Amino acid sequence: MVKIGVDIFGGDYAPESTLEGAILAAQELPDDAKIVCIGDREVIEKYARSKHFDVSKWEIVHTTESIDMGDNPSKAYQQKSDASIPLGFKLLKSGKIHGFASAGNTGAMMVGAMMVIKAIPGIIRPAIATFIPTTSETPILLLDVGLNPDAKPDVLVQYGIMGSLYMEHVFNIKQPRVALLNIGSEEEKGNLLTKATYPLMRDCKCINFVGNVEGHDFFSNEKADVMVCDGFVGNIILKSSEVIYDLVKSRDIHDEFFEKFNYENFGGTPILGINGVAVIGHGISSGKAIKNMILQTYHVIHANLVEKLTEAFKEYTVA
**Minimal distance in Å, beta carbon 209 to its own copies?**
19
Q: Which of 52, 94, 192, 315 binds its own copies (CB under 8 A)?
A: 192
Q: Please pick, from the candidates 114, 219, 259, 310, the single residue that binds its own copies as defined by CB under 8 A.
A: 219
Determine contact, residues 98/3, Cβ cutoff 8 Å. Answer: yes
Q: Does residue 237 belong to the site contacting its own copies (CB under 8 A)?
A: yes
Determine, following the binding rule CB under 8 A, whether residue 214 of this chain makes contact with its own copies: yes
Q: Is residue 319 at the binding interface for its own copies, with CB under 8 A as the rule?
A: no
Residues 58 and 25: beta-carbon distance below 8 Å = no
Collapsing DSSP to helix, strand or coil, 294 comes out as: helix
DSSP type of residue 261: T
CB proximity list for 75: less than 8 A, separation 6 or greater: none
Our finding on whether 187 is near its own copies (CB under 8 A) is no
Q: Interface with its own copies includes 191 (CB under 8 A)?
A: yes
> Is residue 89 a contact partner of residue 109, using CB atoms and an 8 Å limit?
no
3-state secondary structure of 83: coil
Taking residue 128's Cβ as centre, other Cβ atoms within 10 Å add up to: 28
Angle at 231 between CA 228 and CA 233, to 5 degrees: 80
Which of 115, 244 has the CB closer to its own copies? 244
Judged by CB under 8 A, the residue of 239, 307, 311, 319 near its own copies is 239
Residue 232 engages its own copies in binding (rule: CB under 8 A)? yes
Regarding 222 and contact with its own copies (CB under 8 A), the answer is no
- The answer to whether the beta carbons of residues 275 and 118 sit under 8 Å apart is yes
Within 10 angstroms of residue 116's Cβ, the number of other Cβ atoms is 18
Nearer to its own copies, 115 or 236 (CB): 236
x-or-dash string of contact with its own copies, 143-162, rule CB under 8 A: ---x--xx------------
Q: Under a CB-based contact definition with an 8 Å cutoff, are residues 15 and 43 in contact?
A: yes
* 136 is an interface residue for its own copies by CB under 8 A: no
Is residue 238 at the binding interface for its own copies, with CB under 8 A as the rule?
yes
Give me the residues that bind its own copies (CB under 8 A), please: 135, 146, 149-150, 181, 183, 190-192, 194, 214-220, 230-233, 235-244, 246-247, 251, 253, 255, 257-258
